[in-house]
C-alpha cells in the first residue's frame, strides 16, 4: 500500500506538501524517509524520485535516484536535489532542464534556486533547438534567470554553431517570456551597387512600460555610417512615434537627415487630435534610403496638425497643413497650397420620419504659398434629399446649393473679391430584379439597372484660382457623383443622364461572390468649365466597367476598364488576380494609364517544404522596358534558427538608373528577434505577405 503524508507551510501562505511513496521510514515524527516511486507535490512544484528525505522542523527536503522536477518556469532532471520549502530555495546538481515559454533546453553543473522566481545556473549550455538537432548552443559560466523581470542574464558566454565557437559575449541578456526587453536584434547584411556593402545592427531599448527605442547604426561602405532611431511612447490618451535618421554622406560630401513625428491624442470619445511633422535634408534622400521604415519616395512631404470633434449631429475639423517639395522637378508654383488653417463644420441630421434628409457642410480655408495667388475661401453647401427605397427599387432626388466666396491676394486685374452661387440637382434611381440562377446550389442572380440624372448650370469660373481642385478619376462609381472635379474651386456644368447596369451572383448564404457593372454618361451640352480653358465636346463619356469575382475564399479576381469610344482604345485598365492563404500568396496585376503608365506585376510566396519558403516579385514597366522592382528571395526556418536572403533590382523614378541590392539576415531563436528590413521590403512589395519568422 502506498503511503501518503501532508505538511502545511504557513510561513507566508498556506501551501500543502503532499508526498506519495511505496514505503515510509520514520525514527521520529520529525524526520521522514520515503522509498520507491516517490511523488512530491507542493503548489505548482512537482518532484518524483526513488528516495526522498524530509525534515519537518526545518522543512528541508532532499532527493536522489531518477529525479525529475517541474514548476511554473521549467522542468528538469538532476543527480541530487535539496529543497528548502520554508524559504523556497533549492540546489540541483548535474541537471538537464527545459523552459516552457521559449522552447529553451540545456544542462548545468549546478542550479541554485533563490526563491520561486530567481535561479542561477553554473557551467551551463543551452539552445532552443529540438533534441538531437543542436545547430547552435550558448555556453556560459553563469546564467541568472529572473522570472519576475522576464529575462535571463549570461556571463562569459560563447556562441557555438554545431561545435565551432563563433562569438564571445562577456555579458548577454535574453527574454524568458513574451515581455519586451532590451537587447541586440538580428543584424541585416546587404549589398547594393550604389551604396556598397550595408550592415545594420539594431538595438532595442525597453525604457519603460510605455516607452521604448530602437537604435540602428546602418553602415554603408560607400556612404558612411547612418544612425537611425525609432522612439515610441504610449499613455492613456496619447501615443506617438519619433523617427530620426542622419549621416555624413561620403558620396556627395554633405550631411543628410530625415525627421518624422506622429502623435495621436484622444481627449475622449468625441474629441481627437493628431500631429504629423516630416522634414528631409534633400530631394534624393527618400529615394536613396527607401529601404528604411516609414520612408517612401514622394514628390511632396506632408506635415499637419489636426483637431476634430463631434457633438450631436455636428462634426468639426481644424487642420493646419503644408508640404515640403521633395522632387526637384516640381516647382513652388506647382506644389500644394498650405492650409493655415482649414476649418470645417458639418451637420448630418437624422432623417425625418417621412424620409426627408438635410445636410449642411461649411468650410473656411486660408491658402498660402510663396509664389502665386493666395487668399481665403469660404464654402457653404446645404443639401436636401428625399430617398424612397423598397426591396425592388430606389429613388433619390437631391438638391444642393454651393455658395463660395473668395478674398484673394495677388490676383490679376484686382479681382480679389469673388463669389459663386450654384445649384446642383440630381435624381438617382434604380430597379432590382432577382431570379434563381441555380436550384441545386441555391444561387440567386440580380439584375440592377440604374438611371442617374444630373443638372448643373454653367457659370464662368476662369477668374477663380485653383487651390485644391482636380478632375475626378474615371471609374464606374464616379459616373454617379454630382461634380466631375474634386475640391470646390470648380463646379462642373452639365446636363447628363448616366445609364448603368449591375448583375450579381449570391450564394445560399446571400453572400456575393460575383458582380459585374457597366455604365456610361450621355451629355446634352458641351461642358465648358475646366482647369485648362478647354471645352469638353464629347456627347458621351468613356465606357466604364468593373468586374469582381471571388470563386473561393482564397481567390479574388478584379477587373476595371475605361474604354474611349472615340479613340477606340482602353485608356485605363486594372486587372488583378490574387490568391492568399495563411502561407501561400499569388498576385498577378496589370495597370494601364493611357500613355503615362503601363505595368505588369507578378508576385508569389510559396513554402516549398516545411522549412523552406521562396518569394518573388516581378514588376515591369512596359513603356520603359525596365524593372520597377524585382525581388527574389528564400527563407529557411528550423526549430531554433533561420535565415532570409533577398535580391532586389529597382529603377529610379526616371527609369535612368537601376540599383541592385542583396540582403541577408540570420536569426537564432531565443537570442534575438528577427530584424525588420527584409520583412519590411516584402510586406511593402508583395501584397498579402506575412513574415515567415
Going through 281-373 in order, the beta strands assigned E by DSSP cover: 300-311, 314-325, 338-348, 357-368
Decide: 503 and 515 in contact? Cβ < 8 Å. Answer: yes
- Mean pLDDT score across all residues of the chain: 89
pLDDT at 600 over 90: yes
Percent of residues, the chain, with pLDDT higher than 70: 95
Q: How far is CA 682 from the centre of its chain?
A: 12
**Rounded distance, CA 367 to CA 395, Å?**
39
Average pLDDT over residues 353-361: 90
Cis preceding-peptide flag for 341 (omega within 30 of 0):
yes
Tens of pLDDT, residues 399-411:
999 999 999 998 7
pLDDT at 7 over 70: no
Q: Residue 463 in contact with residue 418, Cβ under 8 Å?
A: yes
Q: What pLDDT score does 631 carry?
A: 95
pLDDT tens-digit readout, 143-202 = 998 888 878 888 998 988 888 888 888 887 777 777 777 777 777 788 888 888 888 888
E-assigned strands of 608-685?
612-621, 626-637, 641-651, 658-668
Q: Could you tell me if 199 and 216 are in contact, meaning their C-beta atoms sit under 8 angstroms apart?
A: no
Over its C-alpha atoms, the chain yields an Rg (Å, rounded) of 35
Q: Please state the pTM of the whole predicted model.
A: 0.81
**What does the pLDDT read at residue 441?**
83
Q: What is the DSSP letter of 536?
A: B
**CA distance linking residue 598 with residue 572, whole number of Å:** 9
How many helices and strands (H and E) does the chain possess?
2, 47
- What pLDDT does residue 11 have? 47
Q: How far is it, in rounded angstroms, from Cα 645 to Cα 637?
A: 12
Enter the C-alpha cell of residue 613.
Answer: 519558403
Instruction: Express each pLDDT in 474-516 by its tens digit.
Output: 999 999 999 999 999 999 999 999 999 999 999 988 899 999 9
Is the backbone of residue 355 left (phi > 0), alpha (psi -120 to 50) or beta?
A: left
CB distance 656 to 189 below 8 Å: no
What's the pLDDT score for residue 215?
Answer: 93
Domains in the chain (CATH in brackets) are 3-175 (2.60.450.10), 381-549 (no CATH)
Residue 673, pLDDT score = 53
Instruction: Kindly tell me if the per-residue pLDDT of 83 is higher than 90.
Output: no
Give the integer Cα–Cα distance in Å for 508 and 261. Answer: 49
- Of residues 41, 105, 46, the one with CA closest to residue 71: 46
- Reported as a pLDDT band with limits 50, 70 and 90, residue 356 is very high
Q: Which three cell numbers stand for residue 652?
A: 529610379
Which of residues 657 and 315 earns the better pLDDT score? 315
What are 418-453's pLDDT values in tens digits? 999 999 999 999 999 999 987 778 899 999 999 999
496-513 as b/e: b if 16+ CB within 10 A = bebebebbbbbeeeeeeb
Report the range of poorest mean pLDDT among 342-356, 387-401, 474-488: 342-356
Contact assessment for residue 316 and residue 342, using Cβ atoms and an 8 Å cutoff: no
pLDDT of residue 672: 61
Whether the pLDDT of residue 676 is over 80: the answer is no
Cα→Cα distances 676→51, 209, 616, 635, 681, Å: 52, 22, 18, 14, 9
Model pLDDT, residue 460: 93
Tell whether the torsion through CA atoms of 321, 322, 327 and 329 is positive or negative: positive
Q: Is the pLDDT of residue 10 over 50?
A: no
Nearest to 342 by CA among 383, 308, 300: 308
The pLDDT, as a whole number, for residue 85 is 79
Amino acid at each position: 500500500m502506498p503511503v501518503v503524508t501532508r505538511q502545511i507551510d504557513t510561513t507566508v501562505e498556506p501551501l500543502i506538501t503532499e508526498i506519495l511513496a511505496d514505503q515510509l521510514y520514520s525514527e521520529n515524527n520529525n524526520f521522514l524517509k520515503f522509498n520507491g516511486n516517490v511523488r512530491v507535490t507542493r503548489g505548482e512544484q512537482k518532484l518524483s524520485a526513488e528516495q526522498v528525505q524530509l525534515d519537518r522542523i526545518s522543512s528541508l527536503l532532499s532527493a536522489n535516484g531518477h529525479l525529475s522536477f517541474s514548476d511554473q518556469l521549467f522542468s528538469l532532471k538532476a543527480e541530487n536535489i535539496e529543497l528548502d520549502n520554508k524559504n523556497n530555495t533549492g540546489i540541483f546538481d548535474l541537471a538537464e532542464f527545459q523552459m516552457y515559454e521559449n522552447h529553451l533546453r540545456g544542462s548545468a553543473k549546478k542550479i541554485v534556486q533563490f526563491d520561486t522566481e530567481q535561479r542561477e545556473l553554473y557551467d551551463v549550455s543551452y539552445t532552443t533547438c529540438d533534441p538531437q538537432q543542436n545547430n547552435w548552443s550558448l555556453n556560459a559560466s553563469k546564467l541568472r534567470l529572473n522570472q519576475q523581470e522576464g529575462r535571463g542574464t549570461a556571463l562569459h558566454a560563447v556562441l557555438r554553431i554545431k561545435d565551432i565557437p563563433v562569438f564571445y559575449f562577456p555579458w548577454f541578456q535574453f527574454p524568458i517570456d513574451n515581455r519586451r526587453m532590451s537587447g541586440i536584434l538580428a543584424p541585416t547584411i546587404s549589398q547594393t551597387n550604389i551604396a556598397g556593402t550595408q550592415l545594420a545592427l539594431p538595438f532595442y531599448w525597453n525604457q519603460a512600460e510605455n516607452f521604448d527605442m530602437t537604435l540602428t547604426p546602418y553602415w554603408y561602405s560607400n556612404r558612411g555610417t547612418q544612425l537611425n532611431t525609432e522612439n515610441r511612447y504610449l499613455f492613456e490618451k496619447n501615443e506617438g512615434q519619433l523617427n530620426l535618421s542622419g549621416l555624413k554622406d561620403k558620396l556627395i560630401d554633405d550631411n543628410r537627415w530625415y525627421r518624422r513625428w506622429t502623435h495621436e491624442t484622444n481627449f475622449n470619445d468625441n474629441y481627437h487630435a493628431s500631429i504629423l511633422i516630416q522634414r528631409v535634408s534633400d530631394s534624393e534622400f527618400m529615394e536613396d534610403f527607401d529601404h528604411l521604415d516609414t520612408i517612401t519616395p514622394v514628390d511632396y512631404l506632408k506635415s499637419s496638425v489636426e483637431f476634430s470633434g463631434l457633438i450631436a449631429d455636428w462634426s468639426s475639423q481644424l487642420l493646419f497643413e503644408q508640404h515640403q517639395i521633395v522632387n526637384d522637378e516640381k516647382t513652388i508654383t506647382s506644389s500644394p497650397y498650405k492650409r493655415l488653417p482649414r476649418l470645417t463644420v458639418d451637420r448630418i441630421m437624422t432623417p425625418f420620419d417621412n424620409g426627408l434628409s438635410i445636410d449642411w457642410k461649411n468650410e473656411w480655408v486660408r491658402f498660402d504659398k510663396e509664389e502665386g495667388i493666395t487668399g481665403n475661401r469660404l464654402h457653404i453647401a446645404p443639401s436636401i434629399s428625399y430617398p424612397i427605397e423598397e426591396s425592388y427599387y430606389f429613388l433619390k432626388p437631391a438638391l444642393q446649393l454651393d455658395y463660395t466666396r473668395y478674398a484673394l491676394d495677388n490676383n490679376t486685374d484686382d479681382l480679389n473679391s469673388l463669389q459663386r452661387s450654384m445649384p446642383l440637382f440630381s435624381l438617382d434611381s434604380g430597379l432590382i430584379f432577382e431570379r434563381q440562377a441555380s436550384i441545386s446550389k441555391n444561387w440567386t442572380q440580380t439584375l440592377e439597372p440604374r438611371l442617374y440624372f444630373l443638372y448643373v448650370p454653367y457659370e464662368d469660373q476662369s477668374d477663380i484660382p485653383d487651390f485644391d481642385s482636380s478632375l475626378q478619376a474615371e471609374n464606374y462609381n464616379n459616373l454617379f457623383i454630382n461634380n466631375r472635379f474634386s475640391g470646390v474651386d470648380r463646379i462642373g456644368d452639365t446636363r447628363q443622364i448616366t445609364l448603368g447596369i449591375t448583375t450579381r451572383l449570391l450564394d445560399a448564404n446571400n453572400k456575393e461572390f460575383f458582380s459585374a457593372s457597366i455604365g456610361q454618361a450621355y451629355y446634352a451640352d458641351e461642358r465648358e468649365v475646366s482647369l485648362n480653358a478647354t471645352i469638353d465636346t464629347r456627347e458621351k463619356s468613356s465606357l466604364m466597367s468593373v468586374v469582381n469575382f471571388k470563386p473561393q475564399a482564397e481567390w479574388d479576381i478584379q477587373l476595371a476598364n475605361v474604354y474611349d469610344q472615340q479613340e477606340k482604345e482602353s485608356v485605363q485598365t486594372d486587372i488583378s488576380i490574387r490568391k492568399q492563404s495563411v502561407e501561400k500568396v499569388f498576385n498577378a496585376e496589370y495597370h494601364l494609364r493611357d500613355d503615362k503608365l503601363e505595368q505588369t506585376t507578378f508576385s508569389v510566396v510559396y513554402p516549398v517544404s516545411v522549412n523552406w519558403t521562396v518569394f518573388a516579385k516581378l514588376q515591369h514597366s512596359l513603356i520603359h522596358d525596365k524593372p520597377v522592382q524585382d525581388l527574389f528571395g528564400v527563407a529557411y526556418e528550423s526549430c531554433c534558427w533561420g535565415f532570409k536572403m533577398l535580391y532586389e533590382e529597382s529603377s529610379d523614378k526616371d527609369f535612368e538608373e537601376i540599383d541592385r541590392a542583396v540582403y541577408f539576415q540570420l536569426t537564432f531563436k531565443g537570442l534575438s528577434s528577427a530584424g525588420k528590413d527584409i520583412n519590411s521590403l516584402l510586406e511593402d512589395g508583395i501584397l498579402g505577405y506575412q513574415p515567415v519568422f
